[in-house]
Structure formats: structure tokens, C-alpha cells
Amino acid sequence: MEATFEDHCTDDALELYALGRLGGKHTEALEEHLLICEPCRERLDETDIFVRAMKGAAARLRLEQKTESFAARVARAFQVPAFPVWAASAACLCIIAVSAVRLQQPAPAGASIAVSLHAERGASQTVAAHHPLVLSLDARGLSLGKSAHIVLVNAGGTTLEQADVAPDNDQVHARFSRPLDPGDYFVRICRPGDADPLREFALRAQ
């Protein structure tokens, strides 16, 4: 028997329609009735709201069950007495804090700072200001012979310190006793008696 919905739509029919489960002929009849019946349209709106709410609640329930299941698996995997966990965590935090304090401690005032400068285009090394420097300079590819002339200049090109040192394989080591004020500097490797640098390194004190 075909449904005509000449009378008002039943609650079951409206719910099936809202869920998209009403048969084709029944759907046509119901939609024809809705065109002329405002009370049924209002009931359909209420049914739609109810269906959406139920779908939303079901989705939240599934999500909670999945989350709960995952949390339970994690808890089982790491199941240990609570106190040792907190104790271990506190100990780790203490170790991290102490390590951070040690790492952040600046070098004592007046102590020399070891700095390695490499021959890379555009490279600039930053060092702590107000400390003497012990420099290791990249001398690869330079024909220095038995001696190299190392010059420290400021950003204006004024010579601050210089020293003649013996190359050590592909490196040149020089110690400068002058503490550097904040600013930009350049370290140059030259041949003895020659002012033209074979290589220059940028250095910033801050």
C-alpha cells in the first residue's frame, strides 16, 4: 500500500526522512504533503534538530571511547607506582636546572676565550666582550712557510694587536691579551713583512 500522507506525517516517517532512510515513493508523498502543511514542516525542523543532536552525541561518545582506550593502553604500558615517577621526574628536573645554570654561566672576568675561525664566505664569529682571545685560524690552502703574521684590527681598520707565529699544519694559533670592547673586528693572516692579508675573518664581540 502506497503512502500518500494525506493526513499529517507520522513521527517515524519524519525521523526516517531526516535520516535519509525513507523509501522513494514514501519520500515523494511526504515531500508533497510538506509543501502544503506548515505544522508538519515545523515538526520536521524539530526532528532535524533532534537527529543532528543525536549524531553529534554519538560522535562525541565514539571519540571519548577511542581516547579512553588509547589512554588506558598508555597507562598499562607505563604502569609504575606513582611516587617513583614523581621522584624520578623531580630528579630529572633538578639535573636539567643545574646543567642549564652551568651552561649559562659566563666565563670569569679576564679569562681567555678560545675561538676557532673558519674560511667561509660571509661567516662571522660572535664572542663575549671584555675577554682576551686564543684564536685558531683556518690556514688551509695558504702557502705560509715557517711563519705567519696575525693582525687584529677594529672596524675602522686600526691595528689593535699583531703577532708572528708558526703555522701548525692547516691552522695558525695566536693569543691576543687585549680584552675586546663590544663591536666588530677583523683578524687577518699575512705573510711577515706584507700588509696585504692572505685571509681575513670577521669577529663580533658582544
CATH of the domain at 45: 1.10.10
Give the residue with greater pLDDT, 6 vs 141: 141
Least confident interval from 25-39, 69-83, 149-163: 69-83
Highest mean pLDDT range out of 48-52, 54-58, 120-124, 184-188?
Answer: 184-188
Asked whether residue 161 falls in the same domain as residue 100, the answer is no
> 117, 171 in Cβ contact below 8 A?
no
Domain end, chosen from 105, 124, 158, is at 105
Query: 141: pLDDT confidence band, cut at 50, 70 and 90?
Result: confident
CB environment 133-152: b (16+ within 10 A), e (fewer): bebebbbeebebeeebbbbb
Asked whether residue 94 falls in the same domain as residue 121, the answer is no
Q: Provide the whole-model pTM.
A: 0.45
Asked whether residue 142 falls in the same domain as residue 50, the answer is no
Domain end, chosen from 89, 105, 121, is at 105
pLDDT at 1: 38
Query: 42: pLDDT confidence band, cut at 50, 70 and 90?
Result: very high
Q: In what order do the strands lie in the sheet with 113-117?
A: 113-117, 133-138, 171-176
- Is 64 a residue whose pLDDT tops 80? no
Segment holding 205, helix H or strand E:
strand 199-205
Query: 108: pLDDT confidence band, cut at 50, 70 and 90?
Result: low
Query: 172: pLDDT confidence band, cut at 50, 70 and 90?
Result: very high
Asked whether residue 117 falls in the same domain as residue 101, the answer is no
Q: Show the DSSP H helices in the chain as ranges.
A: 11-19, 24-36, 38-77, 82-104
Asked whether residue 127 falls in the same domain as residue 190, the answer is yes
Asked whether residue 79 falls in the same domain as residue 131, the answer is no
Domain end, chosen from 105, 132, 150, is at 105
Domain of 68, in residue numbers: 1-105
Asked whether residue 170 falls in the same domain as residue 90, the answer is no
Give the residue with greater pLDDT, 88 vs 10: 10
Query: How far, in Å, CA of 38 to CA of 27, rounded?
Result: 17
- Is 148 a residue whose pLDDT tops 50? yes
Asked whether residue 3 falls in the same domain as residue 101, the answer is yes
Structurally, how many domains does the chain consist of? 2
Residue 75 C-alpha cell reads as 597507562
Asked whether residue 63 falls in the same domain as residue 130, the answer is no
What average pLDDT does the segment 152-177 reach? 91
Query: How far, in Å, CA of 180 to CA of 132, rounded?
Result: 7
Cβ neighbours of residue 166 closer than 8 Å, sequence gap 6 or more: 146, 147, 148
- Is 52 a residue whose pLDDT tops 90? no
Q: What CATH number is attached to the domain comprising 150? A: 2.60.40.420
pLDDT at 61: 79
Query: How far, in Å, CA of 145 to CA of 191, rounded?
Result: 9
- Is 91 a residue whose pLDDT tops 80? no
Asked whether residue 19 falls in the same domain as residue 2, the answer is yes
- Is 87 a residue whose pLDDT tops 70? no
Asked whether residue 100 falls in the same domain as residue 117, the answer is no
Strand 133-138 with 148-154, pairing: unpaired
How much of the chain exceeds pLDDT 90, in percent? 33
Asked whether residue 40 falls in the same domain as residue 120, the answer is no
What average pLDDT does the segment 39-48 reach? 93
